[in-house]
Amino acid sequence: MNRMTRTLGALALSSALMPLGNAQAGEVEVLHWWTSGGEARAAAALKEMMVAQGHTWKDFAVAGGGGEAAMTVLKTRAVSGNPPAAAQIKGLDIREWAKLGFLTSLDDVAAQENWNQLIPPRIADVMKYEGHYVAVPVNVHRVNWLWVNPEVLARVDAKVPTTLDEFFTVADKLKAAGIIPLAHGGQPWQDATVFEAVALAVLGPKDYSRAFVDNDMDVINSAKMEETFARFAKVMSYVDDNAAGRDWNTATGMVIKGEAAMQIMGDWAKGEFTAAGLTPGKDYLCAPAPATSGDFTFNVDSFAMFKLNNEDNVKAQKDLARTILSPEFQTVFTKAKGSIPVRTDMDMSDFDACAQDSMDAFRATAKTGGLVPSFAHGLANTSYVQGQIFDVVTNFANSDNPDPAEATDQLAAAIQAAL
C-alpha cells in the first residue's frame, strides 16, 4: 500500500473530513518553508489530503530553514494586498499579524471540531487573538535534542554525553581522531538554536524563562549569562571550518554519512533520518541536548489564516484548518516531520522511540516547569526581539576573539532596545 492509498484510506475513515468530490472546491495557497527532504515529505501529506477533498493546492514554498526568508516574502505579498490563504506564522507573531487586521477568525471550525478540548491551553492561547482563533497549530517540535551517529562515537569508544563537560570530553576525543564533533550550519537561526540549548543547560528552565520570556535584566545581564556565552563559544569550537552558510539539513546529512558525530538541532532533523530510511536507536540516536534532559524547549508550527474574498477559497481554507487537526493528518505529518502531534488525545504506541520520548518529556515538563518556549524559533518573543538576539549571538559566534562579557552587555542592550 503506498502513501497515497494509505492517506485516502485514512480519509475515508474520518467523519471530520469532507467526502471526496466536494461540490465547493476551492484553492488554498499555502506559504511555508518546508523544503528539506523530511519537511517536503511532511508538507506533501497536507497537499494530498487537500487534493483528496477536491481542493487545489497552490504551493508557496520559500526555502530557508527557520523561515526568515519566507517571512520577508510574506510581508511583501501581504502589503501588496495579495496574501496567501494560509501562512506558516508562529508564536507571538500570530498576534502581530492579527493586530494589523490581516487574519480571519476560525472560531466556527474550532467550535465544530472542539479545538479547546483537543489542544493544550497554553498552545491554544498562542493561536488566538482577543479570544478568537486566527491560526491552527500543526505539531510540537522539541528543540533541545542531540542527534548522534553511534557508529562514529564507537570509533573513539565514547558514550552519548549527558552534560556539557561530558560533551567537551567526547568532542576532544573525536577531534583528536580527526572527526568533526559537531555538525552545524553557520546561519543566525542555527547559531541561536545551539545557543538556546546551552542557555537552557547553564541557566536552567526558571532563569531561561526569566531571561527570554520575561526579559528580566537581572538574568539577561548576569554572570550566568556570561558563562552561557563562554560555554557556547566552547561548543562552537567543535564545528568545522566550512560551516558558514551551510543549511541545517546538510549538517544533518554529515551525521547521517558519518562525517560528523553529533548535531544539536530540533527534531525536524529526525525527518531527515527518517527520509533516509534510518531507524532510531540503531542507525542514529536522539538524546536530550547536554544537561537538559528534564527540560523541553517547545516550538509549535502553525498556520495563520488570512482574510479572503472568494467563498470557495474560504471553504477550502476552513477545510485546511480542519484537516490539520484531524488524527489522520497529525499521524502522517508528524511521523514524516519528526515532531509529535499537537492533539493531546493521540495514541503514541505506533510512533518511534524518539517521538515517544518527546511526548513523555512534553507531558512531564508541563508539570515540572521544565517546559519552556523556544526563542530561537519565535515561541518566546516577537520576530523583532528574536532578530535582536540573533544578531548578538551570530556576531559572537563569528568573532575571532569572542568576549562573553561584552556579548552579555550587547544582549542586554539589544533586548532592552527592542522592548
The footprint of ligand GAL (CB under 6 A) covers 33-34, 39, 65-67, 141, 248, 268, 299, 301, 377
How far, in Å, are 92, 264, 294 from residue 289 at the CA level?
A: 25, 7, 10
Q: Where are the beta strands (DSSP E) in 248-336?
A: 260-264, 285-288, 296-305
Rounded least distance, CB 339 to ligand GAL, Å: 7
Distance, in Å, from the CA atom of 70 to the CA atom of 60, rounded to the nearest integer, reads 9
Between residues 268 and 362, which has the closer beta carbon with respect to ligand GAL? 268
Which residues in 122-268 belong to E strands, given as ranges?
A: 128-129, 132-133, 135-142, 145-148, 180-182, 260-264
Cβ 33 to ligand GAL, closest distance in Å? 6
Rounded Cα–Cα distance for residues 5 and 52 (Å) = 11
Q: How far is the CB of 287 from ligand GAL (least distance, A)?
A: 19
The residue (of 207 and 272) whose beta carbon lies closer to ligand GAL is 272
Q: Which is nearer to ligand GAL, 226 or 301 (CB)?
A: 301
* 168 or 375: CB nearest ligand GAL: 375
Tell me the closest approach of the beta carbon of residue 90 to ligand GAL, in angstroms.
6
Choice between 31 and 219, CB closer to ligand GAL? 31
Where would I find the beta strands (DSSP E) of 345-416? Answer: 371-373
Of residues 67 and 161, the one with the C-beta less far from ligand GAL? 67
Cα distance between residue 323 and residue 7, in whole Å: 12
Q: Minimum distance between the CB of residue 38 and ligand GAL, rounded to whole angstroms?
A: 9
Question: Least distance (Å) from ligand GAL to the CB of residue 66?
Answer: 5
Smaller CB separation from ligand GAL, 301 or 328: 301
Q: Which of 235, 236, 210, 238 is nearest to 225 (CA)?
A: 210
> Measured between alpha carbons, how far is 336 from 328 in angstroms, rounded to an integer?
13
CB of 131 to ligand GAL, least distance (A): 25
**215 contacts 419 by C-beta, under 8 angstroms:** yes
| Angstrom distance (rounded) from CA 306 to CA 316 | 12
The nearer residue to ligand GAL, 54 or 186, going by C-beta atoms, is 186
Instruction: Burial-class residue 157 by CB neighbours within 10 Å (0-12, 13-18, 19+).
Output: exposed
- The nearest distance, CB 266 to ligand GAL, in angstroms, is 6
- Residue with nearest beta carbon to ligand GAL: 65
Whole-Å CA distances, 14 to 9, 123, 141, 298 = 9, 24, 25, 29
